[in-house]
Chains A and B, each alone.
Chain A
């Protein structure tokens, strides 16, 4: 089996596995990073969202062979228990999580979104940006509130 090298959350890793294994399975099974979740497995729900380079993508539809040399950021790389990312603080303060299954994917998607923002977004823009992340508890109102709060903080 080939050796595949890439960076996860700033750390260089190398895994020996078959190249058509999904990045999601490699993260969870080979690298023990179980923050990213599998839900639909076909790109519709966003639970497996990770950042490759500077763009959010679905790790369930990427094969590990495709990411040789790439830089990956997962939810484990967004803040830590000791030092939460301001975005995570906003989620806590707004109560923007229920069962929590979709939360890692949403945090990652929002992280990528906030990094590219150049002004405070409207509600509709936030909804559009997160249209690829489903929450089956349907806690969207608080999620959108939390994103709006985090976005505002970025510009004060």
Chain B
């Protein structure tokens, strides 16, 4: 398929989009910000017969509080997430992750829906979404379903998404007063870098100094999909988060991850860095909590 032979349709409503997909799902591919899809088109992988340009579906561009949930339209860009008052105050770990994606241009173009659907093990918003207990709403012409983010990913670049479905929104649990979160990322440079390792942490703090009542830790880029570090999570509540205890938790991180070696980093380096990022994140969180 030559690029000049690829057609494009621009649906005006989600329903119109789903109708196209149900008829032409095999030949079509959704196009949101294009920061993954167009790079791939140029690299001659994943060239569809038809682009379905969903960029004009303003119905999918929102960030709002609904009951005790936050609903994020899948077309929200990384810039919108990073700047949203609601996300910054009630889901700060996601704002931090969005802020670390690419650089200004990429954050202005790239969407959260695209980041999820691309299903890269290094996708920066994904660990944040894991610790915020995110669920995805997937819609086809015939039906709607809501699934947990951890169930969505089958492997690198493989998801449960059917070719007649789109991700319409992402639903997260807002953080409570006593909850704090952080996103840490290691790349070859600060901007424009695919994560070598990334981690999102969310802790519920108790009334005693450095007392953690519960916590969630999710690593990216160290396994085929995002991994929750359940052993580290269990250790969070075994004692106060003293500097020593933080070091001990960090030492366990290498047992939670199963990275590969690739052009960006060796497996051993990734294991070491997973622990280092976790320790750094926990230290910084304690500092923030104490400074509050």
| Residues in A lying within 8 Å of B, measured CB to CB | 18-22, 41-44, 46, 49, 55-58, 61-63, 65-66, 68, 109, 113, 128-133
Once the chains bind, are A21 and B8 in contact (CB under 8 Å)? no
Chain A residue with minimal CB distance to B109? A57
Residues of B within 8 A of A41 (CB): 42
Once the chains bind, are B42 and A42 in contact (CB under 8 Å)? yes
Chain A residue with minimal CB distance to B34? A61
Residues of B within 8 A of A128 (CB): 191
A65-B3 in contact given A41-B42, A132-B192 (Cβ < 8 Å): no
B104 interface contact, C-beta 8 A = yes
A58-B106 in contact given A18-B3, A20-B4, A20-B6 (Cβ < 8 Å): yes
B55 interface contact, C-beta 8 A = yes
Residue in A20, A44, A49, A56 whose CB lies within 8 Å of B192: A44
Q: Kindly state the separation between the CA atoms of A129 and B53 in the bound complex, as whole angstroms.
A: 28
Once the chains bind, are A65 and B106 in contact (CB under 8 Å)? no
Q: Kindly state the separation between the CA atoms of A37 and B102 in the bound complex, as whole angstroms.
A: 20
Residues of A within 8 A of B42 (CB): 41-42
Once the chains bind, are B8 and A20 in contact (CB under 8 Å)? yes
Once the chains bind, are B104 and A56 in contact (CB under 8 Å)? yes
Once the chains bind, are A61 and B38 in contact (CB under 8 Å)? yes
Q: Kindly state the separation between the CA atoms of A120 and B6 in the bound complex, as whole angstroms.
A: 46
Residues in B1-15 with C-beta less than 8 Å from chain A: 3-8, 10
Chain A to chain B contacts (Cβ below 8 Å), 22 pairs: A20-B4, A20-B6, A21-B3, A46-B103, A56-B105, A56-B108, A57-B108, A57-B109, A58-B105, A61-B38, A62-B34, A62-B38, A62-B109, A65-B53, A66-B31, A66-B53, A66-B55, A68-B10, A131-B190, A132-B104, A132-B106, A132-B191
CB distance from B46 to the nearest CB of A (A): 13
Q: Kindly state the separation between the CA atoms of A65 and B56 in the bound complex, as whole angstroms.
A: 11
CB distance from A12 to the nearest CB of B (A): 19
Q: Kindly state the separation between the CA atoms of A22 and B104 in the bound complex, as whole angstroms.
A: 19
B140 interface contact, C-beta 8 A = no
Residues of A within 8 A of B268 (CB): none
Residues in B128-160 with C-beta less than 8 Å from chain A: none
CB distance from B123 to the nearest CB of A (A): 16
Once the chains bind, are A43 and B79 in contact (CB under 8 Å)? no
Chain B residue with minimal CB distance to A67? B55
Chain A residue with minimal CB distance to B37? A61
Once the chains bind, are A19 and B51 in contact (CB under 8 Å)? yes
Chain B residue with minimal CB distance to A50? B105
Once the chains bind, are A131 and B104 in contact (CB under 8 Å)? yes
CB distance from A58 to the nearest CB of B (A): 5
Residues in B171-202 with C-beta less than 8 Å from chain A: 190-192
A43-B105 in contact given A61-B39, A62-B34 (Cβ < 8 Å): yes
Q: Kindly state the separation between the CA atoms of A41 and B35 in the bound complex, as whole angstroms.
A: 11
Once the chains bind, are A19 and B35 in contact (CB under 8 Å)? no
Residue in B3, B51, B79, B109 whose CB lies within 8 Å of A58: B109
Once the chains bind, are A131 and B103 in contact (CB under 8 Å)? yes
CB distance from B138 to the nearest CB of A (A): 23
